[in-house]
Each structure stands twice: as C-alpha cells, then as structure tokens.
Structure 1
Amino acid sequence: MSGIMYERIPDANHAVFNRHAAARRAEFRIASTELRPQRTLAIIDGCAAARQHLSWGLLSSGLGLRMATYGSIEDIEEHEAAEFSVVLVCADDSRLMDNSIGPEIEALVRRFPSIPVIVQAELCGPQQILSVLEQGACGYLPGNAGISVCIEAISMALAGGVFVAAENLHDIQRMLGIRRYQFKCGGMFTPRERDVIEVLRQGKANKTIAYALKLAPNTVKVHVRNIFKKLRATNRAEAIYKINTMFDEMV
C-alpha cells in the first residue's frame, strides 16, 4: 500500500495526489507541469486523521517540504523512500513501553541509512527517549509538541543534528553520564570493587560496607586498599572526592 502525498503548489491551494499516479507518470515519462520542492517529509502514523492533520499543519507553516503520509513503516515502497529527506514516526505509547516498536525503528534506520528518522510519542520518559536514540533515531518529539517545535526538530535533522526537547535534555544527559561513568568504572574496577565503591561514596565505614554487601571485614579492607591504589588516593576522603569528580565529569 502506497502513501498519500501532500504538497504546496504556487498560485494554488494545497494539492493532494496518490503516489501511484506519480509513479505511473514517471513510468510513461509524462512530464508534470507542477512545480515541486526537492525534499519530502514522510509521516508515519497509524491514525489517518492525525497524520493528515499534522501534514496540513506543516504545509501551512511554509516548511517547504512535500508531505508523504503512511499508516505504517511497512507501507513505504523503495522508489518512494528514495525521495525522502526525513521520516517522522508517530509511535503508540504502548509499543514504546514494551519496546515492540524498537526493532522496527532500528530496521527503518538500517534500511534507509541516509535518511534521518524522528520519533514522536506522548510518552517522554528518559529511558524511552534514550532507547529510541540508541536505535538510530535523530530526534524525539513529545506528543504535545506544536508545529514550531516539529519544524525545529525537522530542520535540525536535515542539518545532521539530533533533537531532544529542552525539558528532557537534562535527564538524557544525566543518564548518558551515568552510563559513561559505569563504563569507565567497568574498565578500572572489578565488579566487587564497584559494589564497594557505591557504598564507599556514601561515607560508610568498612564494617558497614561489609554488612551491606555480606562480606568479611578483611575482604572489604582489601577491596578498599585496591580502590585507593587504582585512584592513587591516600585516604578515604581523597578516594571519595576522586570518584565523585569522575562521576561529575561524566554528567
């Protein structure tokens, strides 16, 4: 099933035509008298009314892109995708929660690697946003984003950037910082030493660490000594300071 194309034409109101008609024109080399922009935005949304409303809103804003709308990712045909400059996927929250849409987004990015993909959804938790970005998307829009925010995200994707709404940016940066911190610690410390560090950062004594981790006090003492050595710290205060500094740098 092919999508529907919407575009703004000079000296006329919005025109709508079926993509199959365009394909037939191309097949028989029928010249078109319509003036068409070079770039196309593909909107994928399971709700026909929603995708039509968004496409007309973006057209009215003067974005300067043609709009091709589809009910699902599977509806996109190869010859159509060749004309896309950016793809906007409007995702259902339930599919984000169980991550069932994740493989589809990842497959879409692999299938058309040169086309930036933006995801829009009501659910804007940092975990969902980060997951979508890790699957290759170039942006994440909240479901209540206005036309101006959509244009900003599309423009940034076309320029090669990644868009995340301002209200979500701090949480995403923090999560990325934690992951970088964990990665760095993973290369420097053993798993048991990382467990000790988490309690050590709270300022706990060795006996408390031993009780919390169900370890012998002498074992904790060995781990703490090894942590000091790796950090080149001479005491607990210096070790905690260096660990916290390392974490702050990542965040």
Structure 2
Amino acid sequence: MCLTTSSANLAAVGYDTIDDWLTSSTHAPSTIILLCATNEEGTARAIQSGLDRILSSVPGARVVILSDIDNPATMVSALERGARGFVTMSLSLEVAIEAIRIVNVGGTFVPASGLLSARQGLTAPTEGQSPAAEGRPHFTERQLAIIACVRKGEPNKIIAHKLNMTESTVKVHIRNIMRKIKAKNRTEVAFLTNELLLPNEASND
C-alpha cells in the first residue's frame, strides 16, 4: 500500500469489507479508519451507511473518508455524521498523509476546494449577475487547467506531464468534471465548457 511504502512511518492494514474489519482485532477507538469509496451511483449513501455502522460499533472511532468524489454536500454530510476527515483521490499522497496526521492529533480535515465549492453554493448571486453565470458549476484552478487541455485534444499522458501530476489523478479530475456538467465523454466536456473563461485563455486587455 502507498501508506506503508511511503516515508510516513505509518502502518496500514486493509480489509475488503466493514464486516471483515469488525471481526478483526484492530478496531480500537485509537485506530484511524480509512473508509474508501469510489465515484459510483449510490456512493454517498454507502458512505453514510458505512459511517453509521463503524461509529455504532466503535463509538468515538476516528474515520477518514478516502474517495474520488469531490461533491461538497457529500463532504459536509460525512462530517456531520461523525467523520473526522475527507480526502479526495485527486490530492497528493503527501497531503493525504498530512490529513491523517491532523486527524491523529484531534483535528479535522477537508479539502480547500470542497470548502470553496460549499461557500459558493451558499452565496447568493450578486446584483446584476446573469442566470447563466449563477448556474455555472464551480471548478478548481486545476480542473480549469485540465479542461483547457481537454479542449485542445491532449491525451491524459500529455496533460499529466504538463501539469506535473499522475495520469490516474488526471482521470479522477476528468471524471469529476464530467459529473459536474453531466458530460458523457471528453468531446462533450470540450463542447459544454466552451463558454467558460479559462485561465490561459483570459484576455489580457
């Protein structure tokens, strides 16, 4: 596992299901639990039910969600149900390790992008703002950079090299972008984001 092969001095034990973990001897409240969830239909409900099972079985357990979902509503819901952290797979291994360390000393971790998205969703549109602008999804700077590359027809390998990230991270970002705008493929991403003002396409006037 990445955690055990890194220089973080962390020991990790993996289980296929929550039931497997509950029947083990490693479910003490002092253990940090990483609950992994992939971006599939019903994942938000799976996170909720998983959290409920873990916390009802081991009250006070410190649970960190590890997922490729970057939906702020899902993050907030998980924290409200008792999770101590929410780590998205688009974050680097170093950031994920620091998140675990924060939780280990009693803190709570949530990605800054999730907080910004949640804040934008709670903020009323300013006077004179067009309905189109009001309804636009929020993208992080990294996602905007990837959208720019996708619109140029660049493959994941080139995007990863250009933006200094792994191909798997690029794929996670693209899946989240597609989900936000309900696109079925990269061509639709390019078409549906045509009206977005991307950083490297902004006017210098």
Q: Distance in 2 between matches of 1:121 and 1:94?
A: 10
Give the aligned residue type for 1:161. Answer: G
Identity of aligned residues (%): 25
Q: Distance in 2 between matches of 1:64 and 1:83?
A: 20
Closer, same or farther in 2 for the Cα pair 1:119/1:158, shift >3 Å? same
Length-normalised TM-score, structure 2? 0.53
Partner residue, 1:131: 77
Larger Rg: 1
Which of 111, 115, 119 is equivalent to 2:65? 119
Closer, same or farther in 2 for the Cα pair 1:83/1:109, shift >3 Å? closer
Give the aligned residue type for 1:137. Answer: A
Residue-pair matches, total = 125
User: Does the residue aligned with 2:59 lie in a helix, a strand or coil?
Assistant: coil
**Contact residue 109 and residue 137 of structure 1 kept, 8 A:** no
Q: Distance in 1 between matches of 2:93 and 2:44?
A: 28
Runs of 4+ in 1 over 6 A off after TM superposition: none
User: Does the residue aligned with 2:91 lie in a helix, a strand or coil?
Assistant: coil
Q: CA deviation at 1:122?
A: 1.2
Partner residue, 1:24: none
Q: Distance in 2 between matches of 1:141 and 1:96?
A: 18
**Contact residue 88 and residue 117 of structure 1 kept, 8 A:** yes
User: Does the residue aligned with 1:90 lie in a helix, a strand or coil?
Assistant: strand
User: Does the residue aligned with 2:106 lie in a helix, a strand or coil?
Assistant: coil
Match status 1:140 vs 2:74: no
Match status 1:67 vs 2:12: yes
Higher relative contact order (CA 8 A, sep 6+): 2
The 5-angstrom pairing of residues 210-249 of structure 1 reads none
**Contact residue 67 and residue 88 of structure 2 kept, 8 A:** yes
**CA offsets, 1:89-115, max 9 Å, x none?**
110222555513312212212222232
Closer, same or farther in 2 for the Cα pair 1:78/1:154, shift >3 Å? same
User: Does the residue aligned with 1:163 lie in a helix, a strand or coil?
Assistant: coil
Q: Distance in 2 between matches of 1:83 and 1:106?
A: 15
Closer, same or farther in 2 for the Cα pair 1:167/1:139, shift >3 Å? same
Match status 1:152 vs 2:98: yes
Q: CA deviation at 1:59?
A: 1.8
Match status 1:94 vs 2:40: yes
Q: 5+ residue gaps in structure 2?
A: 128-205
Q: Distance in 1 between matches of 2:42 and 2:75?
A: 9
Partner residue, 1:169: 115
RMSD: 2.6
Length-normalised TM-score, structure 1? 0.44
As a proportion of its length, which structure holds more strand?
1
